[in-house]
Structure 1
Amino acid sequence: MSPVQSAVTAVLTQKFEVSPEYIRPEATLESLDLDSLALAELALALQEELGVPVAEEEAARHSTVGELVATLNAKRA
């Protein structure tokens, strides 16, 4: 598991109480029951955790966990 994937999983499980078995690359953030406020909080938490800017639209309801991880990996490269 990449450091970014680990960070995304940690934030989702600890801050949003998402069960780890639901955090799969194909899972959408909407399917994890994250509303618009939660998505804004997710973007901020990931920004703090990873030290890269995360725009709210990058953590949009239709985004998958895999897409979010790929975007954040690219930003860190």
Structure 2
Amino acid sequence: MPPVQTVLTTVLTEKFEVSPESVLPGATLESLDLDSLALAELALALQEELGVKVEEHEAAKRTTISELVAVLHSKRTEQDAL
């Protein structure tokens, strides 16, 4: 299974046309020009790719890449433990 960071970067660059250089740990989703609709689409895409539920507040405008990776990694680890 690919690392969460890789999946997130791939989804952002392929589905939302974000440049890979912009996907930095401290970048917020808002700074990547993702609006509310794009955030909802991102949550669904990540859910499909990673197999974990992504709550709306976890992928919000002020969420940073590193925060999102940490949350998703934790959820995936929990799920794998079940």
Q: State the TM-score, normalized to the length of structure 2.
A: 0.90
Mean Cα deviation higher: 29-38 or 2-11 = 2-11
Q: Which string of whole-angstrom CA distances, capped at 9 and with x for unpartnered residues, describes residues 3-47 of structure 1?
A: 100000000000000000000000000000000000000000000
Is residue 27 of structure 1 aligned with residue 22 of structure 2? no
Q: Tell me the CA shift for residue 57 of structure 1.
A: 1.1
Identical counterparts, % of pairs: 71
The aligned amino acid for 2:39 is L
Q: Which structure: greater helix fraction? A: 2
CA distance in 1, matches of 2:39, 2:71: 15
Gaps spanning 5+ residues in structure 1: where? none
Q: Cα distance, 1:76 vs. partner?
A: 0.8
Structure 2 residue runs without a partner (length 5+): 78-82
Aligned structure 1 segments of 4 or more residues deviating by more than 2 angstroms:
none
TM-superposed deviation, 1:73? 0.4
Q: Distance in 2 between matches of 1:44 and 1:34?
A: 14
Deviations 1:28-72 (A, max 9, x none): 000000000000000000000000010111100000000000000
CA RMSD in angstroms, aligned pairs only: 0.8
Residues matched between the structures, number: 76
Q: Does the alignment pair 1:49 with 2:80?
A: no
